[in-house]
Amino acid sequence: MKVSYYSLGCKVNMYEAEAVINKFLDNGFELAEFNDVCDVYIINTCTVTANSDQKSRQIIRKAIKNNPKGIVAVMGCFAELNHEDVEKIEGVDILIGTSKRNLLFSYVMEFINKKEKIIKIDTDKNNIKYEELKVNRFENKTRGFVKIQDGCDNFCSYCRIPYARGRSRSRKPEDVINEINILFSTGIKEIVLTGINTGNYGKDLDNYSFAKLLNDLVKIIPSLGRIRISSIEVTELTDELLIILEKNKNYFCNHFHIPIQSGANNVLKNMNRKYNTDYFFEKINKIRKIYPGCNITTDVMVGFNGETEEAFLEEYEFLKKIGFGEMHVFPYSPRPNTKSYKMDRIIPNNVKNIRKKELQALNEKMALNYRKNYLNEIMEVIVERNNNGIAYGHSRNYLQIEFKSDLVKENDLVKVKIIEVGYPISKGEIYEIY
């Protein structure tokens, strides 16, 4: 039987979808493209923005259209918080939200036998434990994502995710380490540590922390392997963590995605972000002292309630002062049942779009300026694909690099000299193959 999947949203969703798919493949299913006629479709949904909700609905309906006789299973944050809406979509056979993903394969088997709709939504998010999922391989990918944490305690005023996933909870260190060992043994050279609030890892464990996990991981990283931290809140860049990173610089990628959301202090306060721009600036400087030339990337939400023209100008200047290597800029969209949903001083959509374009233009300029620092530099690149002699991959500091070579293949580690900088893609020439 054929199974396919579509995962929207964050890296955590990607991991969870891979874990579910691994179970199907281990039991004899064949992985197919989502557009193919399949026996089973799995959709992992997202609800970060209104656009995410809309996209989730579209993908569910696309699966049903691809094969009206196929089994359609829906999970994820949108399915959790909007399960009544998803239930009404004719053709959805299994609905599980953000829990019981480890049982999805058995639910599909049950549906095949009984042909009865299965709905398993846990609305009580109190005192829930970390749900262990396992990935032993990543299909058609050169980096392995490893989920170490779930849930969030921050309750930013615009965000639904704590309501969808519950409070922060950590995976057992031994399970994290074992899975990373397995993935490295398959030949994967880069592991990406991911979570809903990755840096919060260990807060619910006895005498353990994210820094201690990184220190333990150093002991198992192979000579050609590397660890990337997918995203981390600036408030989680503790002195303990910075010391571990400084002592083990060669094991960790010099790229840090640190969401700022806004560069204006009043807006940050309204967002309940728990830091101000001075604090953010100080932490970025500490990271840059440890990793000179590292790539600091971020997320910026434009047009949040109360973002006056003065606040936007303050934000613009602060973002420029930091000099990010890349910014993901997106407009604020009110999310039901969040604190900001009932706030006043709403910014009109046309103003949001104007400001979004201004920040995107700033991003283009900053991203290109950052990449100019690497002209004629030698970069380590993991090859992600090679199409007719044109190879493509990412460097340790997450630059997208394209180069010509008939000698390299997917997952090869090579050294490339940058001969032309661009954004989003720079060009290089092969320097050395490991």
- pLDDT tens-digit series, residues 243-276: 999 999 999 999 999 999 999 999 999 999 999 9
Using DSSP bridges, classify how beta strands 226-229 and 378-387 pair: parallel, antiparallel or unpaired. Answer: unpaired
Looking at domain 125-253, its CATH class is alpha beta
Q: Work out the angle between the directed axes of helices 210-217 and 173-185 (0-180°, nearest 10).
A: 30
In sequence order, which ranges of 336-428 are alpha helices (DSSP H)? 349-372
DSSP structural state of residue 392: E
Stretch 340-348: mean pLDDT: 90
CATH 3.30.43.10 fits 2-119, yes or no: no
Query: Can you give the pTM of this predicted structure?
Result: 0.95
pLDDT for position 277? 99
Amino acid making up residue 126: N
Average the pLDDT over 7-26 and give the result: 97
Q: Which residue has the tokens 């690099």?
A: 401
The predicted pLDDT at position 203 comes to 96
Buried b (16+ CB within 10 A) or exposed e, 146-168: bbbbbbbebebbbbbbbbbbbeb
Instruction: Give the span between the Cα atoms of 247 and 81, in whole angstroms.
Output: 43
Residue 26 CB coordination number (10 Å): 12
pLDDT of 354 strictly over 90: yes
Q: Are 291 and 244 in contact (CB under 8 A)?
A: no
Q: What is the mean pLDDT of the chain?
A: 96
The ranges of the chain annotated as CATH 3.30.750.210 are 125-253
Give residue 219's pLDDT: 95
Could you check whether the bond before residue 424 is cis, i.e. omega within 30 degrees of 0?
yes
pLDDT at 82: 96
Outline which parts of the chain fall under CATH 2.40.50.140.
378-433
pLDDT exceeds cutoff 80 at 310 = yes
pLDDT grade, residue 122 (50/70/90)? Answer: confident
- Bridging pattern class, strands 190-195 and 226-229: parallel
Contact 47, 336 (CB under 8 A): no
pLDDT-derived band at 428, boundaries 50, 70, 90? very high
Of all residues in the chain, the percent with pLDDT exceeding 70 is 100
Task: Find the mean pLDDT for residues 214-236.
Answer: 96
Residue ranges of the chain that CATH labels 3.40.50.12160: 2-119
pLDDT given at position 344: 83
How are strands ordered across the β-sheet holding 255-257? 255-257, 295-302, 326-331
pLDDT tens-digit readout, 51-74: 999 999 999 999 999 999 999 999
Task: Return the CATH number of the domain spanning residue range 378-433.
Answer: 2.40.50.140
Note the pLDDT tens digit of each residue in 135-190: 999 877 889 999 999 999 999 999 999 999 999 999 999 999 999 999 999 999 99
Query: Judging by beta carbons within 10 Å of its beta carbon (0-12, 13-18, 19+), is residue 92 exposed, middle or buried?
Result: buried
* pLDDT above 80: residue 123: no
Better-predicted residue by pLDDT, 140 or 427: 427
